[in-house]
Amino acid sequence: MRIAIITLPLHTNYGGILQAYALRKAIMDLGHEADVIDRNMKIVFPPKWKMPLIYAKRLALNIVSGGKGPEIFRERRLVREHPFVASEVSRFIDSRITPRPVDRYDDIKAGEYDAFVVGSDQVWRPKYFGRIEDAFLAFTSKWNVRRIAYAASFGTEQLEYSYEQLEECSRLLKKFDAVSVRESSAVTVCDEWFDCDDAKFVLDPVMLLTDDDYHDIASGATRRPAKGKALKYIMDPKPEKTVVADRVASWFPAGMHDASVAPRDLSIPLKRRVVPPLEEWVACFEDAEFVVTDSFHGCVMSILFHKPFIVLGNVARGLSRITSLLETFGLEDRLVQGLDPDDDGEYYLSGIDWEAVDGVLEGMRNSSLDFLKKSLK
């Protein structure tokens, strides 16, 4: 079959890129053709006649707030800087995913695809997706196609839909041939809020592939900066997270490599905001002795590469997806709020029964692939 994958736009987020790559590969390994649809996130400038007024207002707000107001020429900066900041990760996207760019989902015409797969990542979170009805395939409502949700995520247990969005998306979800979600809590959300009582709990697409697939990706890295070191990958830096990371770094003579990226941090030079290649990021997890992260996919890569790790709660990005992942593999003790200053790391450096983890992973991988295979028949 010809299949279109609807997911979040491919930016500079490593996890978002990798899950799109993995889902496409898993579908193609089942014998289908697959396109990842990448909606262009165009920078929208104010109308020319309105620009002087908007820029003047932003300037005034900066003067009043002592320079803490909105960025005056934000749109111009983004157009100029984004291609440079994303240049390294774009090579992986272009060569390994080869997405189909569209300005609007309405650009896809009837008859181009036999099936649509929505997922994964936080594709059902309105604040991330945009027009959320399109994440429930509103643009296909009159077409005779198969509609599947694979590991779709709401990101959080708190529903962020308006009443109107909930009504429309519930109606659209009833047209789906098969529904699966990435968090165990999302099964309940589908049932209680969307009147969908047959949603299945499946693995994130990244875990559908094996560590051999990621060894292959890592082999393309030109730098291996995490060899013999602990690894820090933090998406939302906070002082308390730095304290934990510094404590972990003290456990390793070689110290710690920081793989965190800050493409939007205007306080640092543009060169340092360039996001390193995805191959290097994967290689960091392959090489690290230990991982400190607040990222869902940071946990996923640690599990796949059998790396001892701790994860720091990231409520802003959605904690339910991390707790669901850890509970699935019996690793709830890896979620910490802090570390004792005298902690020598003995417990966290060991204590993971990887044989048991692999047993759960194999079972979940088989059932998840079976869901995908049956859904696409």
pLDDT band at 172 (very low <50, low <70, confident <90, very high): very high
Q: Is 206 exposed, middle or buried (0-12, 13-18, 19+ CB in 10 A)?
A: buried
- Sequence letter at residue 207: M
Domains of the chain: 2-42+103-208+364-375 (3.40.50), 223-344 (3.40.50)
Question: Does 350 sit behind a cis peptide bond, omega within 30 degrees of 0 on the bond before it?
Answer: no
Phi-psi region for residue 228, left (φ > 0), alpha (ψ -120 to 50) or beta?
Answer: left
**Position 89, amino acid:** V
Q: What pLDDT, on the 0 to 100 scale, is given for residue 315?
A: 67
The pLDDT tens digits of the residues spanning 297-349 come to 999 999 999 999 999 986 666 678 899 999 999 999 999 988 887 778 888 98
Predicted confidence at residue 317, as pLDDT, reads 65
pLDDT by residue (tens digit) across 245-275?
999 999 999 999 999 998 888 888 989 999 9
pLDDT at residue 42 is higher than 80:
no
Cα distances from 111 to residues 100, 108, 149, in angstroms, run: 16, 9, 20
Q: What percent of the chain has pLDDT over 90?
A: 76
CA 283 – CA 375 distance, rounded (Å): 33
pLDDT in tens, 10-39: 989 999 999 999 999 999 999 999 999 999
